Each structure stands twice: as structure tokens, then as C-alpha cells.
Structure 1
Amino acid sequence: MTSTLANPDTSRALTKLFDSVLIANRGEIACRVIRTVHELGLRAVAVYSDADVHAPHVHLADDAVWLGPAPAGQSYLDIDKVIAAAKSAGAGAIHPGYGFLSENAAFAQRCEEEGIVFIGPPAQSIEKMGDKITARATVESRDVPTVPGISRPGLTDQEIIDAAPDIGFPVLIKPSAGGGGKGMHRVERIEDLAKTLVSARREAASSFGDDALFMEHFVDTPRHIEVQIVADSHGNVIHLGERECSLQRRHQKVIEEAPSALLDEKTRSEIGQAACDAARAAGYCGAGTVEFIVSAKQPDRFFFMEMNTRLQVEHPVTELVTGVDLVEWQIRIAMGEELPMSQENIRLDGHAVEARVYAEDPAGGFLPTGGRIEELHWPTGSGVRVDAGVQAGQVVGSDYDPMLAKLITWAPSRQVALERLDKALGETVIDGLTTNLDFNRFLVTYPDVIDGRLDTGLLDRIVGGYEPTPTPAAAFAVAALHKILAASGTAAGETDPHGPATPRSPLGSQWTSADSWRGARKPAPVVYSFDDGSERGPRRVTLSPRDGEHNPGERVWTAQVEDAAQAVPGGSEEAVEGETVSFDVTVLGSPVPTPDLRLRIDEGTAQRWRVIGEHVFGPHGAFTLREFHGTAADAQDQAGDTPITSPMPGTVIAVEVADGATVAEGEAVIVMEAMKMEHTLTAAYSGVVSINVSVGDMVSTGDVLAEVDPDTDTNTDAAADEDAD
């Protein structure tokens, strides 16, 4: 599940203060921690909820303890249950991973009281740095620079509003108890501040149980740069370089890299020293991350944002450029060992980039998705690491964060690392779920990203230009060609090893023998139809043996790829308007029915293609093509009115309009919370709204929350205006 390029130093004897570690987490981070625990010769204990009975981390561990129902509050966030699990399993230490209880000071304190080693910082450090107002004051005592703003306990809305003109717009409203970018709001005008504060307090109270807010000036063209620090209990503190985390969507990191392309060596040293000073001010011990905001226009000016008192999601990029296993260091520090290296020994080698893979729909406002993973294929190759916590057959629900995996690549240079990541994303298949794989490819190939022109607003500015990558015509042709070759059964044992054996084809050996094509009678063209799930609908592929001479041993087909026919009233069919593409496909080498094919498209260079089941892998990425036996009309959604439905299970937290009110197209109607995020649902068109839910209602995927009776005149006029444009 995970290939790790930073391996634990098993040559160093371990000071065994404990021999078993309970991992109080799930998913990819639980799997990642378990692997290092095993490599250090320790016993790993997993915990799980009803939703994770068959999850990979449960099977990877030596022992597993059930916590309770799926809701995190009744399982992974229940301190009593986690402590009881550790005791029942005989675990002497608990690794919290990230999220859940990892930054809960009460949990760290409880571990100490129960005689269980908490693999993390002291409870006092977590508490001190967990409150952003206290954290600012703490680091300022060590002269660590902070962003101008107002940050004291108990600030009222009016006090924040009164301070805004002196701080200067734009401003950033932040929750004192927040973290991970959640609950932050940028405000451009004082007229919008009061309404934003109401929303920010509600979100902070819901997410963190504390509605305290503070305000900072918004730094122009900000870049999010964080520093990995490690401290031991003997007073040693070092940093392992920085990570660039500026590619964010709504303050949530998507792509991370190490080191930052922005910083020169002088600034890198200064920001690293500032991070170590912040850790010392907090009395820190363990691995932690100090986050800074840096102006892209003035990279030598940086300001403290917050400290994450845990392992970060993006820690693998640091591991790949330093060769350090951070989980190993966490465990050794928890056993009382000194840091194995001094600052002078830390060297950054090459460049690493990470992409977070989420179950979400980029074309649908990035709403979380769910479903059963029907098939799973991870990339391999030099410099590629996959940290994953899912497997084929697993059901992904809405109980937890929608992150499925992280793809990380390393290379000697940033350019090559980005190219490797694009290729790795293209080779990944997660069938059964809508994910952000294609969107991540859009990001890592975007010109500003390639050139290193980053800031935290870049992703939100360019997201409107994203369109899902269309399936290339060649992929449809390869899918059809593979079916022909797989069905030929020209030799025993040559069927697709990833699927059931296919009987000999009624097409006969004419289709696989180049010599037979030169006879008086050629085999007839073969037609297949495939659906890639796009709005365009199914495509029809016609493969015909090409006339004329070609090299001995080569088989050449002419492929024609076109939109399939669509049914029309009366039972007839008519062609759907669309592109028809014709090209030659040459099979190089023996056309045996194996997953791998070496092909030439027209007169181009040789290309390697691979077909596994319904998945076609080629130079442009991976595509899922299902054979289609109906008409295009069967594959299209029926037109009609679209009610406002719940895109996922969640809770209604606000109803923005009254029942019977008139709403405009795009106006907010319902706000719901799911997967720890707020989602605003809007009217698809103007009309009179009927509300079917109330605040606090629990809803399921597909539930009709509201309906809009269209204002026909208004919508007709709008359509006419569009046509006129």
C-alpha cells in the first residue's frame, strides 16, 4: 500500500521504553505509522470503527481493537475508548497520527496520567500553541515576527470591526482554536465584516467548540511556507528545511513540495532559525511544524501564522529530500533518545512534490463523493511513493475526511519531480469514485505552477478554467483492439492475467495473422462502442484492416472513432453531432492477448499502452472505458427540473431563504455540513422555493432539501440573452 523512500535506521539500537504502539487513527496515516513501527521491531495495535472493519490499517496491524460506531465522536475522538483500547491491548505508547486527537491537550495529559507514552509533545505545549492568540504571544516573546493584527482573548465583533481600519484591508478573520486553514475568512470591505464574523463564529463553534476569533492583515500575494522542526527532551532543536504549501483551495492544501522555490539560502536559514525559536518558546518536544506567511513580492519578509503540534499530512516531501524517517524520530524521541543529527548534518537533496488524492468532484464544486472502490491501481517507478489507506472493494462514506491517498515524487530537480507527479497521477485508477486526480494533473502542469509563480490565491483564481481531460480517440481504439486480440486466444496462457480467461474468438485467426490479410479475402470490420462516463456519451469504434503494404510482422488497422447513434422518436436513430476521427494503428511485435501493447498511431513514434479490465493506460493517462451496448440516449441523463438535493450525508446548519420566497438563479438556499466542511447549495434557476428541511435535520445523499418552481418568463429571458451573446 505504501512505498517509502525514507527508511528507518534499524542499525541503531532502540531504547525500548515500550514494545507496543497503538495508532489512534485510520486511513493512510495509520498504515504509514504501522510500517515504521514494524520496521523498528515493535508491535502495532490498530483501532477501528464500524465503518472501518475491513480497512487496510486493521489488517496491517498485529492487533486491532473496536472503538464503536462510525461517527468520530463515538469512536476515534472518544478519549475514554482509545485509552481503554490501549490498556486492553497492552500498548505502552500511543501515536495519534494527524487530525482526531493528535492536537488534543487533554488527551496527551490523560495518556501521561494513565502511564501511557504519548508520541508527541507535552500537553502544555499543545495547549499553548493550540490557541492561536496565546501562540502569537508565545512566539513574540522570542522575537519571532507575526502579522499585524488584533489578537487578545474575548474579542467582541464590535472590537474587531473597530480595529479593522487601522490594521488595513484586506483582513483575515481566524478562529483562535482553529487549524488546518479551517474557518478562515478574507474580508475586503468593512461593510462585509459584520456578516462574515457571524458566519466565522458559527463555523468555529461547530468545528472547534470555541467561537473565539482574532484578525490579521492579509499579506499581499501570500505564500504559505512551513518549517519542519524536531526537538528532543534534552534541549536539542533542529529544523529539516521548509515546505511550500501555497497551492490551496479554500485554505486547504492540495499540492505541497520541498524545498520552496522562492527562498534563497539566507532566508531559508533565517526562517528555519525562527521556527526553532518558536519551538523553544513553546517548550516543545517531538516533531512539529511552524507555519509562516511569506509575501511573494518580498520573500525575505516572513510572519508566524501557527504551529501544528503533530506530524503533518505533507511530511513525506521532507522525508524524501532529507532521507529522514520522521515517524522513527518521533518514536525514538518518545523513548527518551537524543536527536541523531545536528543542524549542520541536515542536507536537502533534490526536490519532492506531493498531491493529495480526494474523493471529491472538481466539476461539481469539489463536493465530497463516496461509493465503492471497484478497482484500484497505483503508480510505480523510480522516485514514486504512494501513501494510501484504501483498497479495492472498500466503501468510502461521509463519516471522515475524503482524502484517499497521497502521491509523492522525488527527482534531482523540481521540473522533473513535477513531471513524474503528473505521470504518476495519470497512471492512477480509482474506479467507482469521482476523485480529483485529473484536477491535480491540471494543477501540476499549469504554467504558473511549473514556473514557481505561486500564492495561496492562485488555485482559486484558475479553477474556473479547469475542464476534465477528454478521453483521447486513441484510447477508444486501443480498448477495441485489445478486445480483438484478447478474444483471439492465439496461445495458451496469453489471456489477461487480471481478468477471466476469454474463449477463442469467432473472428478467427484472420484478425491476428498479418499474412492472412494479404489474401484475397480480408476479415470484415469490427465495431465496438465504449462509454467513458463523460457528458459527450458513448463513442463507436470501427476497426478495419488497412489496405496496402506494411512491414513484415506488423498488423495495421484503420480506426474510426465517432459519437454513437442516438435514438429519436419513432424508433429510428440519427447521428449525434460530434467529431469523427480516423487514424491508423500499428501493432508492433506479436499481437498476443496480454495487457501490454506496443503501438504506433499513424506515423508517430512507438507508444506503450496497457489494458487491464476496463482501464486503458497510455501516454495521456488512465481512462475507464466500459463497453456499451445501447444507444447514446440510454447513457444520457433525462432532462427536466432539478430539485436541490443533498450531495452527501450531512446536517442542515442553515436555511438562507423562507419557504415560498422568490429566489434568483445561483442564490444560496441551504447550507449543510458534511465531512467537517460547510457546503452551500444554490438555486439552479429563478423561481419560488419550497423548503423541505429545517436546521438540524440529518439528511442522506439524494434527499430533496428544497424545490424551485421555475419562473418561466425570467428563465426564458435569460436563455434568450445567452443566445444573443
Structure 2
Amino acid sequence: MVFDRVLIANRGEIAVRIARTLRALGITSVAVHTPSDAEARHVREADIALQVPKYLDIEAIIGAANAAGAQAVHPGYGFLAENPEFARRCVAAGLVFVGPPAAAIEAMGDKIRAKATVSAAGVSVVPGATEPGLEAWTDFPALIKPSAGGGGKGMVLVRSAAELPGAIESARRTALAAFGDGTLLIERYVERPRHIEIQVMADAHGGVVHLGERECSLQRRHQKIIEEAPSPFVTPETRAGMGAAAVEAARAVGYVGAGTVEFIVDGTTGAYHFMEMNTRLQVEHPVTELVTGLDLVELQLRVAAGERLPFGQDDVRLGGHAVEARVYAEDPARGFLPTGGRVLALREPGDGTGATPAPPATRPHGGRAVVRVDSGLAEGGTVGSAYDPMLSKVIAWAPDREAALRALDRALADTAVLGVVTNVPFLRTLVAHPAVRAGELDTGLVERVLPELVGDDGVPWDVLAAAALVFHALPQGDDPWEVTDGWRVGAPAWTTWRLESRDGVHEVRVRGLPEEAAEVLDDDGRPRPARIRTRRDVPGERSLGVTIGGRTENYLCVRRADTLWLGRDGASWQLTRHRIGDPGDRPGAAAAGDGVVRSPMPGTVLLVKADPGDRVSEGQPLIVVEAMKMEHTVTAPRDGIVSELTARAGRPVDMDAVLAVITAEEAT
């Protein structure tokens, strides 16, 4: 290895993951960060950290690499990873770009050019059209895609000609915002397809191999949620055919490094077509690492240093099964809108090292399951709306698929992020769905069964009881008369606790002291014995064991004055001791009929489609709010006149911030 110092031009979990391999290889890691990220986990875990104005500032990134004495730059994924100009500038500055040549990035980064390139190499592609002429497309359903980007951003499914103009407008706006290029293409939409991708690795000496496939069909809004390797659908014959096609696609552009060739596969016939090639490391690369025993970042570095691949195609072996779940800062109960906040307490499964298990050949038959977490989270950190909402990845490996799914569910149950709403409970429900267990997957499955996956039944009674017990046991102040044990001459009296959540205000009745012998009334009005104990067997965690009616549940717990956060089994709840008014006093709790238009998420106002005094109809688009590269259109809650309009394009807004007020026409 010719590198002794490498700059990581990224942040979050991927920067932490790259630093881990650099550390294992004895290479000094150099992190970059913006002013707001100065205390981020990737900064803490690097050997050297330098501040830059923005992660997209090419001049600043290269300047930081030179200042730190780095020989190479690893771009991770996102940001500058697929920017050919950045690759060229690195080379011009005497730095090795840990990725493919700029020409290969250009050839495959433009989806239109990529399809033409691989088609000329004999690889089947999805029928489609490019600009100009999108408006003339007649084969529906169809999928509009930005030519310059990926990650599902800007992709719009269109089912009729009437939807086409609005879909083109939305896709172009998102493409410009996310990739700086509004060029679009349209493709025939394959109903109930599977999304399967092949990992390739190439060196600069003509060696190209594939490392098997990943099943990425579990998606929401064209964004992957859960990925696995190998696919439960792909046969050895199909794997060989897709792998050969992927290798030819890589050879067609003189590819070097790690890349992924994505295919759309007909789940009925098994026919597959090239979609695109991602010229970088993929988010889901850990499942390939776990079934091959290879460190893909290490291979990237060795290939970038000019070394040959240390193995050939016949040496690649797949062992066991791996499944990855992406943990997002989003709220499934509110349409998966991005969330945010400060990480008050954090619990993640596994040993925290993220190390891959031994290669398949050394694993004993029936070996134990392995859990890996790639995370950028740290207690005290803030999750904002400036970046992608993915926080971490939980990955499980086991000798077979069923065991891997069970291990993943247990790992997700051991995950808690207090202070930020996440999708972890949704992920557990999805992993347990019968179709997922059976491997009957397609890219539309999640949307079809969404009502089964996103139940909003409010806060469970036992969680409310646990919160009431915590408040009951820990009164404010030192005055003995504030002790809420309900002491009376004779028998203790019941104390009623009113606890507020986003679902409303709940009442729980408690008497006695929980650390001794308390009682709590259940939903049926029956008193149940209750007790709280602090768990001291897990150093550094704020853990409570709450026993109600003989059943004990363990919680991660954080209390700040009148607000309490509880985490259990992958879910978390925020409960506040209610002191004022009724649920209608809460921000965002007003009924839709009152005409107040609020922001559904923290973000930035992208577009305002109305003016003060405009007459609007219920459901009419008023304002577009963007957060974490995702647009959300806020509509009029009623017919009426825009009497107030506080939203301004380009301005940041908090969740539940008032954007506008619609007044009934007769009132004006």
C-alpha cells in the first residue's frame, strides 16, 4: 500500500466506516467538516480533522487534502463521489481519487449515455426516451428519472398522459436542486419488478470481477429500505448471466474500482434489463462484505494504489445470508416526513466496531449470527434537515436467510435513538411481513401493504403507565410535601397524571412509591402492582426496569424537567407532564378546518404558489417545503381566502411552523 494518509471527503456513517478500514490498515485518516459538524462522530473518530465551508466545495476539499499531506481522497457516496470534475481536480492536484476515472464517471453518471454505452456492448436496457420528446411519451405506466443523479431523488411514476406535465415539472425541479442538472429521461415502467444489482470490482490492469448480487426490491418512493445478499429469487444461472453483463458494462467504460450495475428484473419471467451504473461504493455494500468476507473499502484503496485484484472470478464464494436495514430520521405515521432533533440517548446493537466476520471458508457450518452497525450517530449530536435523513445501517449475517431476518429483528429491537423520531418500528414490522419472510418481493410491495406496516395506535398503555411512574417517583424539588406517594391517614390516595404526547393528553392514576410498592390503574380500572428499578448492569446507559402486574419491561430513559423520553424494542415515545389547556393548545394540534397551514417537517420553503388575498380551494397546492432532498407539497385545508402568508421561498421553517392562514370567504 503506497498511502499513509487519506482524506475522507464525506460525513456521517460512511465517513466513520471508511475511517475504520484506514485504521485497520495503519493509514492516517483525515476528516473534513463544516462548522455545524465540528463535534460530529466522524470528526471524533478521524486522526486529523479540518474545517471546510461546505462538503461540496471542491477547492476547499483539495486544499484540506494538501494541507494535511494526504496522498489520496476517498469520496464515499453522495456529495462529490460521482462528480467527474472533482476526480479530475484531485488528479491535477497530485492526489489519487479513490474511485473510477473521470471518463467512466461521465459515461455512467449520465443515465442516457450509460444506456447507449451498455446497449452497444450487448447488454439489454429498458425501453425509454430522452429529451426532447418526453411530453410525447404514450406508453404508460412510465417512470421519469433525472439523467444526472440517483438515490431515487426526482423519480416520478406516471400512469397517464394527464399526469405527465406536472410530473415532468416536479422531477426537473428536484433534479436541479439535487444534482444541478434538470435533464430527464422516461422509461417504460415494469409492473411489480425486482430491483437487483451486481457488485463489480476492477483494477487498472484489466481485471474485472463481480461479487454476486444484492436484492434491493424493498423500497419506498424509489428509495431502498432493506437490502439483502444473496437474492432469494436469483438462481446460480441468472447470477452468472447478470454478473457477466455487469462485467461487460464495466469493461465498456474502462472502469476501475468498486461499482454497482443495477438491473430491473421481471419477477415472473426472470428477464433482466440494465437500469444504471453507480460509479461508487453503495450504501448497501455491507451485505456483500458479509457474504464474501471481503472489505470493499480496502479493495478500493489497493486498486487505487495500482495493485492488482488479489483474486479472480472463480475465487469468489458466497457464504450465508446478510440483510441490511436503513435507519432514517423520518416519521412513518406522518407519511415518512423527515424529522430532526438532538440525540439525547443512544443505544445501538453489536460491538460497535462494524467489523466483518471471517471469510466464508473459515465459518463453521451452523455458525452464530453476526450483527454489524454502520452509524454516524453520537449522543448529543443534532440531526438537522441539511443532509440525507439516513442515520445508520443495521446489518445481520447468519448461515441462512430465516436466521438472518430473525437476527436483524433482534438487532433493531436493541436500537434506540431518544430525541429523534426514527423508522425503526416500521422496519421491524416490514421484516416480519409474510411476503418478506417468504422472499416474495417487488419494488411496489411496501406501498401496497403500507396500511399494514404503519399503524398509529397511539402510545401503549404500559408505556404511559411507565412514564407516570417515573414522574411519580421523581418529583421536582426537595420539599417532602411534594412527594407524590398519595399518603393519607388510612390508605394512600390516587394521584392522576396527565401526560401529553403527539396523540393527545392521556390520564394515568398512580398511588404509592414505585421504588417500594406502588399501584397503577390499568385500562379497565383495575389496580396493578408496580415497581421501578434502575438497571446498573449496563454501564453508561440510562436504563430503567419497570414492572407492572408482574411483567418487567426495560427502557432507555431520559428526563428533562417536565418531558420524558422512553425507548423500548426499537420504538421511542416523548411524553410531557401536561399543565396547561387541552390538546388544542399544542403546536400543530389545531384541526384542519381552522384554516391554519403548518409545516409538516423542519426544512426550507422551496416554492410559494399563492399570494395574500388569493381565493383557494381545499386541497390546492400552496407551498412546497424541502428537507433532506425531499419535497413535500402543503395544500389548503379548506376553501377560502389567503388572509395571512408567512412562508417565503428560501427561508428555513420548523416543524409545525405556521406558513399561512386560510379564512372562510364569508368571514372576510
Distance across 2 between alignment mates of 1:406 and 1:695: 35
C-alpha distance in 2 between matches for 1:380 and 1:541: 38
TM-score w.r.t. structure 1 length?
A: 0.79
1:60 aligned residue (45, 49, 52) = 45
Cα 1:582/1:271, change in 2 over 3 Å: farther
Alpha carbons of structure 1 residues 418 and 217: separation in structure 2 relative to 1, 3 Å:
same
Matched ranges for 1:456-467 at <5 A: 456-465=443-452, 466-467=454-455
Q: Identify if the C-alpha distance between structure 1 residues 425 and 672 changes in structure 2 by more than 3 Å, giving closer, same or farther.
A: same
- Once structures 1 and 2 are overlaid, which stretch shifts more, 47-56 or 693-702? 693-702
The secondary structure found in structure 1 opposite 2:501 is coil
- 1:38 matches 2:23: yes
| Pair 644,583 (structure 1): closer, same or farther in 2 beyond 3 Å | same
Equivalent residue for 1:8? none
Cα deviations by residue, 1:150-180 (Å, 9 ceiling, x for unpaired): 24xxx21xx2343x33xx2212222221222
Give the distance between the partners of 2:122 and 2:573, measured in 1 at CA.
Answer: 55
Matching residue's letter, 1:419: R
> 2:623 matched to 1:670?
yes
- Please say if residues 535 and 545 of structure 2, whose CA atoms lie closer than 8 Å, have aligned partners that are also in contact: no
Correspondence list, 1:366-515, <5 A: 366-380=336-350, 383-465=370-452, 466-468=454-456, 470-478=458-466
| TM-score normalized with structure 2 length | 0.85
Q: In structure 1, how many angstroms separate the alpha carbons of the residues matched to 2:299 and 2:41?
A: 24
CA distance, structure 2, for counterparts of residue 523 and residue 276 of structure 1 = 79
* Map of 1:550 onto structure 2: none
Q: Which residue of 2 aligns with 1:515?
A: none
Distance 1:349 1:586, change over 3 A: farther
312-321 vs 79-88, greater mean Cα deviation: 312-321
SS of 2:52's equivalent? Answer: strand
Would you say 1:160 and 2:134 are equivalent positions? yes
Identity in percent: 47
Q: Distance in 1 between matches of 2:571 and 2:158?
A: 41
Residue 529 of structure 1: aligned partner: 497
Could you tell me how far 1:622 is from its partner in structure 2? 4.5
1:681 matched to 2:634? The reply is yes
Q: Which moved more, 1:591-600 or 1:38-47?
A: 591-600
> What is the number of equivalent residue pairs in this alignment?
633
Larger radius of gyration: 1
Query: Mean alpha-carbon deviation: is it higher for 389-398 or for 38-47?
Result: 389-398
CA distance in 2, matches of 1:288, 1:120: 9
d(CA) in 1 for partners of 2:61 and 2:534?
54
* Native 8 Å contact 2:641 2:664 kept in 1: yes
Superposed, 1:72-111 pairs within 5 Å as 75-111=54-90
Match for 2:524: what amino acid? T
Within the candidate set 570, 577, 581, 1:628 is matched to 577
Q: Does the 8 A contact of 1:427 with 1:622 survive in 2?
A: no
Q: Which amino acid aligns with 1:628?
A: R
After superposition, give the CA deviation of every residue in 1:675-704 in whole Å (9 maximum; x if it has no partner): 222221111222222463687443432654
Per the TM alignment, residue 457 of structure 1 is displaced from its structure 2 partner at its CA by 1.9
Aligned partners of 1:384 and 1:445: how far apart in 2?
18
Query: Which aligned pairs between 1:509-658 and structure 2 lie closer than 5 A?
Result: 524=492, 527=495, 529=497, 531=499, 533-542=501-510, 559-561=520-522, 579-580=523-524, 582=526, 584=528, 594=536, 609-610=554-555, 612-613=557-558, 620-624=569-573, 626=575, 628=577, 630=579, 633=582, 637=586, 639=590, 641=594, 643-647=596-600, 650-657=603-610
**8 A contact 1:476–1:541 mirrored in 2:** no
Q: Does 1:26 align with 2:11?
A: yes
AA of the residue aligned to 1:80: E
Q: Please state how far the C-alpha of 1:391 moved relative to its aligned partner.
A: 1.3
1:54-109: per-residue Cα shift (whole Å, max 9, x none)?
A: 111112111111102xxxxxx11111111000000101100001000000001111
Does the C-alpha gap of structure 1 residues 617 and 77 become closer, same or farther in structure 2, counting only changes over 3 Å?
A: closer
Bigger CA drift: 623-632 or 257-266?
623-632
Instruction: Let me know the Cα RMSD of the aligned residues.
Output: 3.6
Structure 2 CA distance for partners of 1:341 and 1:681, relative to 1, 3 Å:
same
1:281 aligns with 2:252: yes
- The answer to whether the Cα contact below 8 Å between 1:475 and 1:623 also exists between their aligned partners in 2 is no
Q: State the AA in 1 paired with 2:456.
A: P
Deviation (angstroms), 1:185 = 1.8
Q: Distance in 2 between matches of 1:404 and 1:593?
A: 27
Contact residue 533 and residue 545 of structure 2 kept, 8 A: no
Where 1:390 maps in the other structure, the secondary structure is coil
Match of 2:104 in 1: 125
Partner of 2:300: 330
Cα pair distance change 1:601/1:20, threshold 3 Å? same
Paired residue secondary structure (2:216): strand
